[in-house]
Copies of this chain bind each other. A is one copy, B any other.
Amino acid sequence: MGGSTFGQAFRVTTFGESHGAAVGAVVDGCPPRLALDVKEVQRDLDRRRPGQSLLTTQRQEEDRAEILSGVFEGVTLGTPISLLVRNQDAQSGAYEAMRDVYRPSHADYTTEAKYGVRDWRGGGRASARETTARVAAGAVARKLLAEAAGVEVLAWVDSVRDIRAMVDVDAVTLEDVEAAPVRCPQVHAATAMTDAIEQARRDGDSLGGVVACVARNVPAGLGEPVFDKIDADLAKAMLSLPAAKGFEIGSGFAGTLLTGLAHNDPFVPGPDGRPTTQSNRSGGVQGGITNGAPVVLRVAFKPTATIASAQQTVDREGNAVTLAAKGRHDPCVLPRAVPIVEAMVCLVLADHWLRQRAVAG
């Protein structure tokens, strides 16, 4: 019931607190005989790693992944793959002052309301550091999807505050995204976003925005018709990320402004004789099941709750106090959220790909 496991067929369990000994993941259900090298895990971790640029937290973590089980002679065994990342640069002293103070819009108070105890160092279990484990597990899912079905999952920063990029969902590449540390593939928007984030940092403030993601070459037929619709599982995956406040599949909220006639995606015969859609307002999902078109989604991330400016709050004894947060943090989580969003999308797709294999043989 602890809620640290995700997926049914491709199951990931994560563990670890921000300033504990380690964070990690156990992947159960990955098929055997998949070639897997720890470098493939490291590649995604390196994209998520803190301290990459001035846009991110200055916590220095190598985030060196170790595979403890489930891989033998370069291939998966079908048994659980355990992935471990030791914490190195935990500077817990900065959090001493916040030991008894609830940071606004953080999980400090709710954790205490839930458990009656919390690891106050760096956010404990609620820290975004936990997503290290998700990215490691997601790299395994990504490899499986690529090998088994040629699936490619790619995310980018679509907006920061009111700076919105115009991105061609069908054409954008990993190189485009990685061209700038802010991970926005449109150059002008990237520059404006970078400036805005740096200004927010100087102001002791923070920014939010939207990450968009596309999954290409997803086979038709993934997802279940009722509760486990693939967009339902994607929505859960995205809202399970720290700071996420909203989710859209395909046309999303904007789609509510159209009429049915304008919104429906007409079917036309596809190049392989199978139906294909002329437009993709469905976002690749119809009735909770993929239709073969690219899966397109968007995730809203609020501005980072940790800010340097003074804020009004309450301590454990119920006294009103003023807090100026210490501790290192990202002035904008969006650039590092990109590989995290990709990882969660990979986990959902791998899970449903295996589930569909059980159904359809």
Contacts and interface: CB of A to CB of B under 8 A. Distances in A.
Contact of A289 (B14, B111, B229): B111
Given A1-B29, A26-B4, A106-B286, A303 B258 contact: yes
B1 A264 contact: no
Contacts of A263: 105, 208, 302-303
Interface in A284-306: 285-292, 300-306
A278 B314 CA distance: 12
Interface stretch (A48-56, A186-194, A265-273): A265-273
A4 B79 contact: yes
A6 interface: yes
Contacts of A226: 3-4, 14, 125, 130, 240
Interface stretch (A17-25, A166-174, A177-185): A17-25
Contacts of A33: 115-117
A42 interface: no
Q: How large is the interface on A (under 10, 10 to 19, 20 to 34, 35 or more residues)?
A: 35 or more
Contact of A113 (B161, B221, B229): B221
B239 A208 contact: no
Nearest to A286: B110
Residue among A6, A68, A283 with most chain B CB within 10 A? A68
A62 interface: no
Interface string A191-227: 0000000001001111111100000000011111111
Interface string A144-168: 0000000000000001011000000
Interface in A86-134: 102, 104-107, 109-111, 113-119, 124-126, 130
Given A28-B5, A68-B15, A255 B245 contact: yes
B22 A82 contact: yes
A253 B246 contact: yes
A354 interface: yes
A309 interface: yes
27 contacts: A2-B224, A3-B226, A3-B355, A4-B226, A5-B11, A5-B13, A17-B79, A77-B117, A77-B124, A105-B281, A105-B286, A107-B287, A110-B221, A126-B287, A130-B226, A200-B259, A206-B259, A229-B240, A235-B235, A236-B236, A242-B287, A245-B256, A255-B302, A260-B302, A267-B314, A355-B358, A357-B358
Interface in A66-80: 66-70, 72, 75, 77-80
